[in-house]
Structures are given as C-alpha cells and as structure tokens.
C-alpha cells in the first residue's frame, strides 16, 4: 500500500533514523503492563537499547510519567487499583507532553474492560497497538475473538483501524501475519515475523512497549514510530524463526536477533509494503 506522504524507501530511511536514535538515546519507557508480560517486555526493551521502568503504583506512577520518554499502558491483567493508576498516569503524561501508547488487551471481553478502555481513549493515546480482533471490537464491530487471541485477520481490521485513527486522532497499529499501520491519512503494511511468535506468550505486549520506545524519540510523529518498531520486530522475528526449532529456542533467539539488529537492516531488509 503506497503511503500518501512518504514513498516506502523514504519511510524505511525515516524508520532507520529512529532506530539509530533509540540505540543512541536509550529512552526511558514506563510500562504499566500485565504480570504475564513484564519480564519479556523488559528484556525486549533492553535488547533494543531502551531503558524499561515497570512503575505502576498509584503513589508514584503519575509523577514518574513526567520524566519518562514514553508511557505504555497494557490492560492485560486489569484491576480497579491498576485502572486508577493507568488513568492518572495517562493524564499526567498527556499534560507533560509525553507520548503514551495503549494496548487494549481483550477489552471486549467484559464490561469492566470495555469501560476502562473508553476512559483511557478519552485521554488521547498517541498510538494504539492491538490484534485484529481487538481493533475491530474497538471500532464497534463484531469480532470472532473470545479472549486475548485474535480470531480475525488483519485485512478484516483495516477499515476499523482507519475509523479509530480518524475518530480519535491517533495512530493505530494492527499486528498479525502482516501488520497494518495508519494515522487516518497515511498507511502502510509491514511484513516479516514468524509463525512461532503467537506460541511465545506476551510477544505482542512486548511489541507495544517497543512502540513506546520509538515514540519517545520520534519528535512528534508517532506514525513513523509505530512503523519503525514493527519493522524491527518483523525483521528480527523472521531471522529468529528461520533458526528456531520451536517456541523455546525462538524466544531466546528472538532476543538475540533484536540485540544484533544492524541499523541499516531497516532499509536493506525493509519489510514495508
């Protein structure tokens, strides 16, 4: 899909520049994420050169957001105290001009989650990263999912992503076999990755945090931040998948390939379509 503001080569070069900035600046990424994903999320951020901070307590998280490069909010293991902290932290980040990223994990599963996501959306995330089923449901459509796993294709979610981007003036990244990123005006597909990724828990959650790292250095263009993060994930996942014998070896190989990713890989092996 052609991008209306950048040709794919220019977009790949812009993504490469952001990757170099993440390596150079080691942005501080505050993660209010779920218990399942904390370890892999921190390791993915470290592998890419960013600095993770798992600061979620109501007593300190809103204050910490003002010094972070970006804030990531993931509702995977949501509770009332965590929701309070998430709302206060998102508001604090927005007031401080710090970009924040929303991962609406299984938001359509219960009334509590649906209400939580609507409150968070009102605080204007810079980027929303979700699977196809989550994005379709977020736009008010009927998804095939009954839990955290996607049962819909990314292609089925593209119009929903576009509608959300326009309605909430945000960037939406739909991830799956081929990812789709849009800000309502620009859009692109990102290939790569591995079929083993869904077999390793919380890889999507870790990707959302990586999107936050790129948003921290993107100088106000969250669209390119999302594209760059997904590109790195796609290239590293493809490399790791080619060598892995199963989910276990994929998990450690993926961290290694992320850490070893060359800056020029984003142009030399560009996954943008």
Q: CATH number for the domain including 117?
A: 3.40.1190.20
Say whether 268 counts as a known binding-site residue: no
Q: Give dist(CA 86, CA 81) in Å, integer.
A: 9
Domain count, the chain: 1
- How confident is the prediction for the chain on average, in pLDDT? 95
User: In angstroms, how far is CA 5 from the centroid of its own chain?
Assistant: 22
Q: Is residue 82 part of a domain?
A: yes
Q: Give dist(CA 10, CA 2) in Å, integer.
A: 12
Which residue range is the domain that position 228 belongs to?
8-140+151-269
Instruction: Give 228-261 pLDDT, tens digit per residue.
Output: 999 999 999 999 999 999 999 999 999 999 999 9
Say whether 89 counts as a known binding-site residue: no
Q: Is residue 146 part of a domain?
A: no
- Of 218, 252, 270, which Cα lies nearest the Cα of 44? 252
Q: Give dist(CA 33, CA 74) in Å, integer.
A: 5
Say whether 33 counts as a known binding-site residue: no
Say whether 129 counts as a known binding-site residue: yes
Q: Is residue 103 part of a domain?
A: yes
H helices of 26-110, where? 38-47, 61-65, 80-96
What the block records as the tokens of 41 is 């999320």
Q: Is residue 117 part of a domain?
A: yes
Q: Is residue 14 part of a domain?
A: yes
Instruction: Give 124-180 pLDDT, tens digit per residue.
Output: 999 999 999 999 999 998 765 555 555 689 999 999 999 999 999 999 999 999 999
Q: Is residue 43 part of a domain?
A: yes
Q: Is residue 193 part of a domain?
A: yes
pLDDT of residue 1: 47
Q: Is residue 3 part of a domain?
A: no
């Amino acid at each position: 899909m052609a991008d209306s503001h950048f040709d794919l080569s220019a977009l790949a070069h812009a993504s490469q520049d952001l990757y170099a900035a993440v390596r150079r600046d080691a942005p501080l990424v505050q993660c209010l994420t779920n218990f399942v994903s904390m370890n892999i999320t921190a390791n993915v951020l470290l592998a890419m050169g960013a600095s993770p901070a798992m600061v979620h307590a109501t007593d300190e998280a809103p204050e910490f957001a003002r010094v972070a490069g970006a804030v990531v909010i993931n509702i995977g293991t949501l509770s009332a105290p965590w929701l309070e902290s998430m709302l206060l932290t998102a508001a604090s980040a927005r007031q401080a001009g710090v970009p924040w990223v929303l991962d609406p994990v299984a938001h359509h599963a219960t009334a509590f989650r649906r209400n939580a996501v609507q409150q968070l959306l009102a605080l204007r995330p810079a980027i929303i990263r979700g699977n196809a089923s989550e994005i379709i449901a977020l736009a008010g459509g009927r998804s095939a999912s009954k839990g955290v796993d996607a049962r819909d294709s990314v292609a089925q979610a593209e119009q929903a992503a576009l509608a959300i981007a326009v309605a909430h003036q945000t960037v939406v990244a739909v991830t799956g076999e081929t990812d789709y990123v849009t800000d309502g005006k620009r859009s692109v597909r990102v290939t790569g990755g591995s079929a083993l990724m869904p077999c390793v828990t919380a890889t999507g959650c870790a990707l959302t945090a990586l999107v936050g790292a790129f948003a921290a250095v993107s100088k106000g263009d969250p669209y390119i931040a999302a594209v760059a993060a997904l590109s790195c994930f796609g290239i590293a996942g493809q490399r790791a998948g080619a060598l892995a014998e199963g989910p276990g070896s994929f998990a450690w190989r993926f961290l290694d390939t992320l850490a070893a990713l060359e800056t020029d890989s984003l142009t030399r092996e560009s996954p943008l379509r």
